Amino acid sequence: MPKLLKGNSVIDNSWQVLAKDFTGALPDTPCFVPLEYWLANKENLQTPETIGVWLDSDQEPEEIAGDIEDLQYLAVNFPTFTDGRGFSIARLIRDRYQFTGELRAIGEIVRDQLFYLSRCGFDAFCLAPLELDQETRSFEDYLSPFSVTYQASANEPQPLFRRKQG
């Protein structure tokens, strides 16, 4: 079974991510459908426990703004780990559209991005099997290598200068 980092622990991941051009009938397993598919079929996809939506880095989160309350699972794809668009998309999903379900980072992410990813609002991470190899270090080293952050972000609504003012 593939694995997933959720919070601080590695858990089984039974979710499938359907291709961007997917059409046809859904599989039996829980799955993330691509945005286009969701927009075309959302009336028939109202089982939020097993159907989520994934966005690619060039897609507009605005398009699901109206559906946020109907969804429990969202995913954002990183085509390469240096494609930083997903960070902004996550912040919009969390801060602007107030999504409270699971926001999963999929695609080519690496451990050393976990800190920024989680600050932008991701709380589940589909790391490659190699990246999940946990022998040497705890994920805590990657999720929170810093005890100080200057900015407001998805998991810290106040910038440091306001926190300092207390």
Partner 1 sequence: MYIYDLHDKTLIGERVAQYRRQTDDYLAGKISDGVFLPLRLQNGLYIQRHAPMLRINIPYGMVSATQLRTLAHITRKYDKGYAHFTTRQNIQLNWPQLEEVPDILAELAAVDMQSIQSSGSCIRNVTSDEFAGINADEIEDPRPWCEIIRQWSTLHPEFAFLPRKFKIAVTGAASDRAAIQVHDIGLQVLKNANDEIGFKVLVGGGLGRSPAIGQVIKDFLPAKHLLTYLEAILRVYNRYGRRDNKYKARIKILVKAWTAEVFAEKVEKEWQQEIGSPSTLTDEVIKNAKAFFTSPTYENLNAVSCEENLQTFAAENVAFGKWRDRNVVAHKVAGYCAVHLSLKPTGVAPGDVTDSQLEAIADLADRYSFSEVRVTHHQNLVLGDVKLSDLPELWQAAKRQGFATPSIGTLVDMICCPGGDFCSLANAKSIPVAEAIQRRFDDLDYLYDLGDIKLNISGCMNACGHHHVGNIGILGVDKKGEEFYQIQLGGSAVDEASLGKVLGPSFYAHEIPDVLERILNIYVEQRIEGETFLDTHRRIGTGPFKEFIYAKAA
Which residues in this chain contact partner 1 in the complex, by CB under 8 A? Answer: 81-85, 87-89, 91, 96, 110, 112, 115-117, 119-120, 136-137, 141, 145-153, 157-162, 164-165
Give me the least distance between CB of 132 and partner 1, in Å please: 13
Cα(2)–Cα(64) distance, integer angstroms: 28
Give me the least distance between CB of 22 and partner 1, in Å please: 24
Q: Measured from the CB atom, is 51 or 55 closer to partner 1? A: 55
Q: Measured from the CB atom, is 7 or 159 closer to partner 1? A: 159
Cα(64)–Cα(36) distance, integer angstroms: 10
Give me the least distance between CB of 43 and partner 1, in Å please: 29
- Residue 73 in contact with residue 52, Cβ under 8 Å? yes
Report the candidate in 95, 39, 87, 89 with the shortest Cα–Cα distance to residue 67: 39
Count Cα neighbours of 116 within 13 Å in the Cβ-side half-sphere. 13
Q: Measured from the CB atom, is 47 or 96 closer to partner 1? A: 96
Q: Measured from the CB atom, is 1 or 130 closer to partner 1? A: 130
Give me the least distance between CB of 102 and partner 1, in Å please: 19
Give me the least distance between CB of 49 and partner 1, in Å please: 30
Cα(133)–Cα(67) distance, integer angstroms: 36
Report the candidate in 38, 41, 50, 121 with the shortest Cα–Cα distance to residue 87: 121
Q: Measured from the CB atom, is 8 or 134 closer to partner 1? A: 134
Phi and psi at residue 81, to the nearest 5°: -70, -15
